Amino acid sequence: MVTESEGDRMKTRSVLAYIPGMPLKPESLLPRRELAAMAGTLLSSGHETQVVDYGTVWAVRRFVSGGLGVAVRQGERVGRFGARMAMGDGVSRRPFGVALENLVQESVRRRRREMISELLSAGALDFVVFLADDELDFRESLAVCRELREQQPAVRTAVAGRHARDYGAILLGASNVFDAAIEGDEEVVVAEWASRIRQEAAWASVAGLLYLDAGRPRRGGHHNGVSLDALPMPCYDAATYPAVHGDGKFLLFTVDQTRGALHAAHGDRRAGHGEGMLRMRSPAAVCSEAALLMKQFGVFTFHIRGTETPGAHSLGLAKEIGAQRWRMQYSISGAIRHAEPAAAAALTASGCRCICFSVDTGSQRLLEDFYGRNFSVSEIERAVCAYRKAGIFVTLRCTFPCPMDDYHTRSETLRLLIRSRPGAAHFALPRLKPESVWMHRAPEFGYRVNHGYFPLWAMGQDAPYVSLVNPIPVLPYRMMGWSRGRMAMEHADLVHDIVELGICPGGTAQEFLMARVSGYEGDEATFYRRLREVLATLDASALAKMANTFNERAAVAVESAVFRPFASTLAAVGN
């Protein structure tokens, strides 16, 4: 056990790295709060650290050098809505040839070599933490980490982010490259781990840390989570996080409002490791972080993160923003169970422009029995209608197909969309997580898991580097009664029907906030389609123009919205 005084003397040097996977995602080009939060905690504890973020416009420009961008734009003819659809993003494509795939992979390898050279030139390091949101990000982190360990075997490495929280034990055991994975609050765990980095025997006392012990994943102490108000502010200083300064990022900053959840659905990780309870950050603390970002970057546009935020808490934040008399714009993550339709007008008046709800399906039977949700289809419809009528753009996160879907449930989902009329609805395939009910009772829910292939899938080893027409990737499971061909056909047909309804078939709350700020209010789908086309074709010049336009408009305070009283909507007919 390392005492506090010993830990205080252990000052370290580290790098916090993000290498976005291919194909690129819009979220990759935003400032990464997880990196800034870890940097802020390490610096406040007396450690030295540097953020290296390759999710920038200039990194894309370097990546596409050597004619890659031209080849991609010639090989990928991007069409309009209504043609053959890629997986939920509404952008039609032709298949890529083997030569183009090889060209992209060569550019990826060149980017990895640059990243490794940058890490090696940083001097003596104690550890490196890689951020990974999904298997594509992890694939890049794994390749760089493996080469780094060969060059500097003494450097400790860890993976953090959403993918590490969901699949950390599998990633550590299967890759056998990383020393640890962070399951708990990144900024808390990384500081505790840094103070014990040279005493492996003391890693067992770091709550929220997964680490390798004789080749087997082990968990540190139980992680209950700390008060969000007690955490240090993220550090976006130019000396620490240079990628955020200049014209390299879309300056849409994320501010945490809540973490964890009171209710875990069947597809979610089970309670534990700090995620079985809902922790709320006070409106004053949220506004304090936003005020610092306004002062440092002169921006008035934010994304407020927290998928289980109660409506009363969001209303408290709206009142706090109104008390500050800020003329800001923001998007927010919402939960149907906690959404209060009467609060929609107050959110609009405070500057809320977009909200995202996870609803999965329009079938009440599937909501309860398959997804384990604690809300009804009628509640979905009331919430979506209320926020839409208040002038807030609503996007829904849905799942289709699942093993229990049929033409009845498909019709019920379309009926929900027709009645509620959200601005966008993204349909994705189910994702199986190791500690979910779906995984523990897979046959009961219609899944046949390929346990031998699951680690390779989690590490992104078979994922393509370029966008393909085939919308169904290779999966670590089979759905009983569903072939890959049927899944692709049914998914494409549903997306086509959504487009015919005038609903954008994809996108996040952040993307649609970017659309509105960039001047596309009322035509958000055009911005969404344009951004996805630019990323798919690696058009660095067009991407830079879009980023500059957004950043210029994000720095302009908007007029306060007129408060409109809440008007109740009729209850939906039960399924």
Q: Rounded to an integer, what distance in angstroms lies between the CA atom of residue 559 and that of residue 556?
A: 10
Let me know: does 398 contact 360? Beta carbons within 8 Å.
yes
**How many of the other CB atoms lie within 10 Å of CB of 67?**
11
The reported pLDDT for the residue numbered 74 is 58
For residue 214, the SS3 value is coil
Tens digits of residue pLDDT in 19-46: 999 888 999 999 999 999 999 999 999 9
Between the CA of residue 421 and those of 374, 388, 466, 499, what are the distances in Å?
A: 22, 8, 32, 12
Q: Compare 129 and 24 and report the one with higher pLDDT.
A: 129
Q: What is the mean pLDDT of the chain?
A: 86
Let me know: does 342 contact 387? Beta carbons within 8 Å.
no
Token pair for residue 14? 């580290």
Q: Rounded to an integer, what distance in angstroms lies between the CA atom of residue 88 and that of residue 505?
A: 6
Between the CA of residue 513 and those of 74, 220, 331, what are the distances in Å?
A: 31, 39, 6
Task: Please give the average per-residue pLDDT across 342-356, as a whole number.
Answer: 93
Q: What percent of the chain has pLDDT over 90?
A: 66
Handedness of CA 204, 210, 212, 215 (dihedral sign): positive
For residue 556, the SS3 value is coil
* Burial class of residue 559, CB neighbours in 10 A (0-12, 13-18, 19+): exposed
User: Could you tell me the strand order of the sheet in which 253-256 lies?
Assistant: 253-256, 301-305, 329-334, 352-360, 393-399, 424-428
- Which range, of 37-46, 337-346, 512-521, averages the lowest pLDDT? 337-346
Q: Which among 547, 555, 542 is positioned nearest to 31, based on CA atoms?
A: 547
Task: Please give the average per-residue pLDDT across 414-432, as a whole number.
Answer: 96
Band of residue 431 on the pLDDT scale cut at 50, 70, 90: very high
Domains (range + CATH), the chain: 4-60+97-219 (3.40.50.2300), 242-452+501-554 (3.80.30.20)
Token pair for residue 164? 């590490």
Task: Please give the average per-residue pLDDT across 274-299, as a whole number.
Answer: 88
Chain CA centroid to CA 345, Å: 27
Token pair for residue 2? 């390392």
DSSP state of 358: E
Token pair for residue 165? 């929280």
- Which range, of 154-158, 273-277, 364-368, 521-525, averages the lowest pLDDT? 273-277
Strand partners, 303: 254, 331
Task: Please give the average per-residue pLDDT across 4-16, as a whole number.
Answer: 71
Per-residue b or e along 178-195, where b marks 16 or more CB atoms closer than 10 Å to that residue's CB: bbbbbbbbbbbbbbbbbb
Q: Which among 315, 303, 308 is positioned nearest to 279, based on CA atoms?
A: 308
Most confident of 50-64, 71-85, 178-192: 178-192
Phi/psi of residue 3, each to 5°?
-75, 165
